[in-house]
Amino acid sequence: PNSLLRFYPAKYHKFASSIFALNDICSLISEKDADVCILEEPEHLNWYRSPGSPSWTNKFHHVVGVIHTNYKAYVRSHAPAGFLAAPLTAGVNCMVVQANCHRVMKLSGVLQEFHPGNEVVENVHGIRETFLLEGQRRRSSKPTGIFKVYFIGKLLWAKGFDILLELEEYFRQQTGSYFDIDVFGTGPDEVEIKRAFEDSAKRENRMLDNLSIRSRRPPLPVRFMGMKDHSFLAGDEYSIFVNPSVTEVLCTATAEAVAMGKHVIIPYHPSNSFFHQFENCLFYNDKKSFMIQLQKALSCSPPNISNESLKILSWEAATTRCIYASVISKRDDAKNKRLERTKERHNIRKAISGLFSNNMESGTISIASFGSMEGNRCEAV
C-alpha cells in the first residue's frame, strides 16, 4: 500500500527535553482518512493540545496507543523535585491517554496503569532482519570457543553502570579477578563512567558514594570502544551480552543480542519478562546468581536459536501481535460498559449520601457543603 508522510510544526522545549506540537495534529488528517489510528506515545503527543480541539477518539473510529517510555520514572530521577513531579506526571498521563485512546498497549509491565480494563501488555516492536540473519548463520556455524563479554548502549548511569561496578567487585571477591567486558556507546555520563572504571583514588562522584567499593583498586578490565551499530558486533568475536539495567521498558539491544544467538545475561525484572521464552537468555536475581550465570556463559557456547524464536522477534510477528492486541472483543466491551455503569451508580449513591445523611438518634439532618470537609447542620422540620 502507498504510504504518506506528513509533517507537523513542532518545537523543542529544553526544560522538558522534548518536542511538542505547535498546533492540532488531528486537523491535518482529513475525515475520509480518519478510521483507525495508532498513536506512538499518546501521552507525549497530547500533553500540549490546542484549546477546543477534539480528542482523537472523537475523530477516529478506533484509536490504539502504544506506550514505550517510562516518563514517570524519568521525571522521578531527573526532574527537580522529582518525587513530587512524578505522581503528577502519572496522573496527567492517565487523563490524556484515557481521553484519546480506546485501547492501550504497554511494551512491558514496568509501566504504570493508564486505562484500566482497556490496556494490555504486549511487545509490538520487532528488530531488523540483519540480526535475524546473523542468528541463522550462527546456528549453522561451528562453535569457536571464543567467549568475550560486551555491553552496548548509551553511557548513562541509569543504564546500570553502578550495578555493573558492584557485579565486577563481587566477582573479584569470589573468584580473585574481575571479568573482562567491552563497552560500546557514548553518552552524557561518559567521562564520569570511564573515570569510575579506571584506577583513581577520587571518589567524589555522587553516583559512587553509596557503593561498597574500596577507594583504591586496580583498573577494571573494561574497554570503552566508542559508538558502534549493534549489527557490527555480529560474528563470533562476542558471544556474551550483559545488560544489568533495570530502568528500561523493553530493551531493543537485548532483543537484538537474543536474535544474534548470543548468551544474554539480564536480571529478573518486569522489563525483561518477554525474554523468558528464549533459551539463550540467562537470568539472575542477585550478585551470586549473576556470577554463576556468567561463569556458565564463559564455559560453553550459546544454544542455537530456533527459526520459531527468530520469527517471534521479527517485525512481521510484532505486527501480528499489534493487530490482535488492538482488538477489543464484544465480551470485553460489554464488561467495560458494565463496570462503567456500576462506577457511575456508585458515584451517584456516594454523592447523594454525602448530601443528606440522616441521624435518627439526634433527629438532625447533616447537609454536606461542597468544597468543605464538614457538613452544615440544621434542625429537622
Secondary element (H or E) of residue 66: strand 62-67
Cell of 309: 524464536
Residue 103 main-chain phi, psi, to 5 deg: -140, 140
DSSP H stretches of helix in the chain: 42-45, 56-59, 71-78, 82-100, 129-140, 161-175, 190-197, 252-259, 287-299, 307-312, 315-326, 330-355
Q: What is residue 353's predicted lDDT score, i.e. its pLDDT? A: 60
- pLDDT for the residue numbered 340: 62
Predicted pLDDT of residue 369: 36
Cell for 126?
Answer: 520487532
Spatial neighbors of 102 by CB under 8 A, at least 6 apart, are 57, 62, 63, 64, 118, 328
Cα–Cα distance, 313 to 333 (Å, whole number) = 30
- The pLDDT of residue 155 is 96
> What is the CB neighbour count within 10 angstroms for residue 219?
10
The pLDDT assigned to 198 comes to 83
Q: Could you tell me the CA-to-CA distances from 226 to 198, 217, 221 in Å, in that order?
A: 16, 24, 16
Return the number of other C-beta atoms located less than 10 Å from residue 114's C-beta: 22
SS3 at position 117: coil
- Please list the residues that pair with 224 across neighbouring strands: 183
What DSSP line would sit under 346-371, residue for residue?
HHHHHHHHHHEEEETTTTEEEEEPTT
Question: What pLDDT was estimated at residue 98?
Answer: 93
User: pTM for the full model?
Assistant: 0.80
- Give residue-wise pLDDT tens across range 319-339: 999 999 998 877 766 766 666
- 313 to each of 284, 293, 317, 343, how far by Cα in Å? 22, 23, 7, 40
- CA-to-CA distance for 350 and 285, rounded, in angstroms? 46
Q: How many CA within 13 A on the CB side of residue 171?
A: 20
Q: Are 67 and 97 in contact (CB under 8 A)?
A: yes
The three grid cell numbers given for residue 89, joined into one nine-digit string: 506526571
User: Measured between alpha carbons, how far is 49 from 329 in angstroms, rounded to an integer?
Assistant: 30
Low-confidence ranges of the chain (pLDDT < 70): 1, 199-218, 332-333, 335-381
